Amino acid sequence: MAQEALYGRARPKTLAKLIGQDHISNALAQAISGDRLSHAYLLVGTRGTGKTSTARLLAKAMNCDTVRDAQKSGRPLDKKEIPCNKCDACRNFNASPDNVEFDAASNRSVEDVTRMLSTAYLAPLVSHTKTFIIDEIHMLSTEAINSILKLIEEPPSNVAFFLATTEVNKVPITIRSRCQVLNFRLIPQTTIAPYLLRIARHLEVDLHEDAAKKIARLAEGSMRDALTYFDQCYSSGGKEISLVDVDEMLGLISDEKLDKIISAVNAHDRRATADAITVAFNSGVAPNSIAESLITRLRDLEFAKLNRGEKSFAGVDTLVDALRKSISEMYGSGIPDIILEMTLLKLAAPVQMSAQLPTVAPVQPSSTNLDAGKKIFYDVLNNFGRQDDDINHLLKKTVVTNFDGKTLTLGFKSATLANMFGNNRQVEFEQQAAQAAGHPIKISVVVDKNLSASILDQVSEPDRTALADAMNAFGASDATKI
Ligand SMILES: [Zn+2]
């Protein structure tokens, strides 16, 4: 397959070309120069970080004539010549019967491993050192592991082992303690993206910088994944690869579409949110993938803000938490699109409160402030309630419990009512309250089942205007006195 070909072709030929693992290539170059290589290495790291490539370089270098000559004469070696790739040993390395490669994940039978390991006791056929490269060592059976352990404890002469694993915690401590451990790091995006651009130039492909960055981010530290993604775009695309191409080829949703969803939710615009979700669904990307992309995009936007020294945008934590929750709900569900849609629409509703509702009524406020608060409340209700039956009905159950000049506290008898208000109407109510008061007003909500019934329960809608007017005119301290 083409993608394997590119990854294979891009494998480093010398230690100097090992990308993103300088701590390892530097240490190994010193050890090789000083002829201090170990006979057993445990290469630990996530997939695609260069473990097998490094094992092959070491196996080759152990047999390289140039390297061995330099070791004998004490000439320091440069990373660029480890191995030299020119001597007979280097040129014949791939066909050498003395280099045995073995994937424990696919050949796990004890017989297989025993057969392979038995050759370790025989002298190398053509090389100086016989080398064994075993991938995914943690997948081997206990018996196989014991055979290897025995070989490492009492190694035959001129044999070296390179044991690679993605899960070091599953490798027995007895093996770990007898090997020199090389820890491979995740390769940073800032290393992967320029590397992809270099390869693209080499292939005479115009890979856009933002496209390279997107691939680097998707690769999550794995060079193999990065090259595979790049190859997918390369083999199905033309001589130019843009960000849009990357999204299309890899079945991703574009940042532009994600930003539209995020902006709409942030603006608490449910109509725009619904439209943006529809556009996203129409792009054919799976709902859980959209949710994951939204989280990644939010993280990117957040980091960009941090770098610019800006404040993070409000509600980002709530948004990420809700999306994460929706992803787990989508798993195994037959209606993932609806789950995502409802999650986003709920977030787009004015202000979320749910779990954090205080359940204790506030301290009795001063009556003057409370009057002013009630005045604002009734003013808003006269406008708001007229236009909207739901809010009219809801606010009839509401009691103004406090007002400190800036924050108007509304009391509800149940959390359900409070949530209905918080989820649907709070922001709109705040805007109207600000208009009525002539300055910004924040609404706070409390739940107390012992609250007295709202006066509005007994007041019919036409009378409410009169109530507000009367309060205004007489400065009454309590609506009930009217
Ligand atoms: Zn060589």
**pLDDT at residue number 481:** 36
Ligand 1: centre distance to CA 160 (Å): 17
Confidence at residue 429, expressed as pLDDT on a 0 to 100 scale: 79
CB atoms within 10 A of CB 175: 22
Average pLDDT for 425-440: 80
Question: In whole angstroms, what is the distance from residue 482 CA to residue 464 CA?
Answer: 11
Cα(5)–Cα(199) distance, rounded to whole angstroms? 13
Residue with the bigger pLDDT between 3 and 129: it is 129
Is there a single domain that holds both residue 73 and residue 103? yes
Q: How far is the CA of 27 from the centre of ligand 1 (A)?
A: 20
At 422, which CATH number?
Answer: 3.30.300.180
Residue 71 lies in a domain: yes
- pLDDT at residue 205 greater than cutoff 60: yes
Ligand 1 mean position to 16 CA, how many Å? 15
Structural domain count of the chain: 4
Q: Which of 271-285, 380-394, 425-439 has the highest mean pLDDT?
A: 271-285
Q: Which of 206-210, 270-274, 383-387, 401-405 comes out lowest in average pLDDT?
A: 383-387
3-state secondary structure at position 195: helix
State in Å: Cα 379 to ligand 1 middle. 88
Where is average pLDDT lowest: 255-259, 378-382, 387-391, 461-465? 461-465
Task: Determine the distance separating the centroid of ligand 1 and the alpha carbon of 47, expressed in angstroms.
Answer: 28
Read off the amino acid at residue 45: G
Compute the average pLDDT of residues 344-360: 62
- pTM score above 0.85: no
pLDDT classification of 43: cutoffs 50, 70, 90? very high
**CA 271 / ligand 1 centre spacing (Å):** 67
CA 126 / ligand 1 centre spacing (Å): 14
Pairwise CA distance, residues 266 & 305, whole Å = 15
Instruction: Return the axis-axis angle of helices 336-348 and 270-282, rounded to nearest 10°.
Output: 150
- Strands lying side by side in the sheet with 407-412: 399-403, 407-412, 442-447
Centre of ligand 1 to C-alpha 332, Å, is: 54
Confirm whether 354 is domain-assigned: no
Residues 147 and 57 in one domain: yes
User: What distance in angstroms lies between residue 162's CA and the mean position of ligand 1's atoms?
Assistant: 19
Residues 28 and 163 in one domain: yes
Residues of the domain holding 69: 2-183
For position 466, what pLDDT does the model report? 55
Distance 64 CA to ligand 1 centre (A): 4
| Percent with pLDDT over 70 in the chain | 85
Instruction: State in Å: Cα 85 to ligand 1 middle.
Output: 5
pLDDT recorded at residue 380: 78
What separation in Å is there between the alpha carbon of 93 and the centre of ligand 1? 9
Tell me the pLDDT band of 365, cut-offs 50, 70 and 90.
very low
Residues with CB under 5 A from ligand 1 (ion): 64, 66, 83-84, 87, 90
Question: How many helices and strands (H and E) does the chain possess?
Answer: 22, 10
- For residues 321 and 371, membership in a common domain is answered with no
Nearest in space to 287 (alpha carbons), one of 342, 348, 352: 342
Domain boundary among 226, 249, 272: 249
Residue, of 4 and 118, whose pLDDT is higher: 118
Centroid of ligand 1 to alpha carbon of 33 (angstroms): 14
Average of per-residue pLDDT values in the chain: 84
> Would you tell me how many other CB atoms lie within 10 Å of the CB of residue 295?
16
CA–centroid distance, residue 123 to ligand 1 (Å): 21
How far is residue 90's CA from residue 167's CA, in Å, rounded to a whole number?
31
